Amino acid sequence: MSEVLPPNVWFFPDARADLGRLDRSQRVLVLRAIVKIARAPDQVGKPLGHLAGLNLAGFRSVYVDRKRIRIVWKVAETGVVQVAVIAAVAEREGLVVYRTAAQRREAIDAWIQKRIESSG
């Protein structure tokens, strides 16, 4: 999969597993959307804030597959390029994908920091 991803898109490992749980046609749609996200990670989709008691400030989301799937990502600055860190991908069932992203928030932030430090 990494050979199809733009270099400024990083999949948090659990989000990569989320993608793997989708069927093939849905994965294709998600990957196409991610290519669009990569062009302007801080402008595509809608910014998230506090939603139903979940702190999603700094995250953005977009729908794919006729609004059946949500992609949630965080924009990170590496000092060189803006990176879209995919936090969660899931079928649109209530707030599941948002809850998942919020639960992963601290781990994602630590993972981003570690990745930036190891590349610099």
Q: What percent of the chain has pLDDT over 90?
A: 78
Cβ atoms 62, 89 nearer than 8 A: no
Over range 45-49, report the average pLDDT: 94
- Which residue is listed with tokens 């996200």? 37
CB atoms within 10 A of CB 118: 7
The domain ranges of the chain are: 9-118
Predicted TM-score (pTM) of the model is 0.91
Looking at 3.30.2310.20, 3.60.10.10, 2.60.370.10, 3.40.50.12160, the CATH number of the domain 9-118 comes to 3.30.2310.20
Tell me how many degrees the CA angle 14-49-33 measures, rounded to the nearest 5: 50
pLDDT in tens, 77-119: 887 788 999 999 998 888 999 999 999 999 999 999 999 888 7
